[in-house]
Structure 1
Amino acid sequence: MKKLNVILILLLLCVGTTVIAQKKIKSFNSKDYALFGDKFKVTTIYSKNEMLKKYKSLKKGDTITVQFQSNIKAVCKKKGCWMKMELAGDEESFVKFKDYGFFVPLNADNSQAIVNGKAFVDIESVESLRHYAKDGGKSSAEIAKITKPEVTFSFLADGVYIKK
């Protein structure tokens, strides 16, 4: 009898976990999104809060393959070759695109996006930070204030869905 109860409980846990996972996937409808880069199957999407926790657990040199969904805070205003996505609090993820192989619309700011790729922690040089600030439309005064390298929550995306 105890074995039967244990089996039933395990079965219910498995079914419950599957239903939760399916709810996350069912909330995604590709017709509501424009695809940039490689097409990918949406599986487990992390929120901006969950993604920040993932980043905080990484050390320089660590890389994880994930999907996360958040708002786009900024896009490169020259080509659309990078974007910054919101994380919890005032944190952000700096997203570049694999092999410089695709770009996102210059007006994608404030859009909802799902990115697929590799998350890692990086250190950006002053030169790179100034370059990105210039491409992001920052003033000369703001660019001049960049004087030291920064630890960044980086992301190399092979595909991006942006909500239409």
Structure 2
Amino acid sequence: MRYLLILLVAFGCNTSKEKFASYGGEISSGDAITTIDFLSKVSEEESTFKVRGVIEEVCQMKGCWMTLRNEEGANIRVTFKDYGFFVPKDISGREVIIEGVAIKEVLDEDVARHYAEDGGKEYDESMRNSISFVAEGVLVKEG
């Protein structure tokens, strides 16, 4: 009976660990804020954040950007530092942790049109209002 209890405790400890695939620079999964908290803190001044959210879409050309889903409806576009890494194109809907620098900005119309095209969407003027997040590292939850 004692061995069964030890196995149950050991198994219980192991099931709480999340597994992530890592892209870009090394980051940890701890201390990430939600997209709602992030949206309340991001401004027109660059700041560093670690955010946990769900991927809305990924660039289907190369995996060179992604957007995060959020309840506020704001577009959170994530690109990758120095164009130095990409993410898989088939990870929409997966949970992710990103760490990097973010800022609220109005995109140039050509850039907004490019993003709409890469995402398979029709351009809309509202797409120019964006929150740009340049991630140094990305963790994509496995499973």
Structure ID, larger Rg: 1
Alignment of 1:74 with 2:57, yes or no, is yes
> Per the alignment, do residues 162 and 149 of structure 1 end up closer, same or farther by CA in structure 2, a change over 3 Å counting?
closer
2:138 corresponds in structure 1 to 160
Provide the rounded CA distance (Å) in 2 between the counterparts of 1:44 and 1:149. Answer: 30
**What does 1:56-135 correspond to in 2, within 5 Å?**
58-59=43-44, 62-135=45-118
Q: Which amino acid aligns with 1:88?
A: E
Q: What is the CA distance between 1:33 and its match in structure 2?
A: 0.6
Q: TM-score, normalised by structure 1?
A: 0.71
> Per the alignment, do residues 155 and 35 of structure 1 end up closer, same or farther by CA in structure 2, a change over 3 Å counting?
same
Provide the rounded CA distance (Å) in 2 between the counterparts of 1:148 and 1:157. Answer: 23
Provide the rounded CA distance (Å) in 2 between the counterparts of 1:89 and 1:129. Answer: 20
1:51 corresponds in structure 2 to 38
Contact 1:125 1:149 survives alignment (8 Å): no
Q: Which amino acid aligns with 1:52?
A: L
Provide the rounded CA distance (Å) in 2 between the counterparts of 1:44 and 1:88. Answer: 20
Q: What is the CA distance between 1:42 and its match in structure 2?
A: 3.4
Contact 2:29 2:139 survives alignment (8 Å): no
Q: TM-score, normalised by structure 2?
A: 0.81
Identity level (%): 32
Provide the rounded CA distance (Å) in 1 between the counterparts of 2:104 and 2:125. Answer: 20
1:36 corresponds in structure 2 to 23
Contact 1:36 1:102 survives alignment (8 Å): yes
Q: Structure 2: state its 5+ residue gaps.
A: 1-15
Aligned residues: 127
Q: Report Cα offsets for 1:29-76 as digits up to 9, x if no partner.
A: 4x6110010111334210111011012xx12xx111110000000100
> Per the alignment, do residues 133 and 45 of structure 1 end up closer, same or farther by CA in structure 2, a change over 3 Å counting?
same
- Range that drifts further, 112-121 or 89-98: 89-98
Moved over 3 A (4+): 146-149
Query: What is the aligned-residue RMSD (CA, Å)?
Result: 1.8
> Per the alignment, do residues 69 and 149 of structure 1 end up closer, same or farther by CA in structure 2, a change over 3 Å counting?
closer
Provide the rounded CA distance (Å) in 2 between the counterparts of 1:149 and 1:92. Answer: 8
Q: Structure 1: state its 5+ residue gaps.
A: 1-27
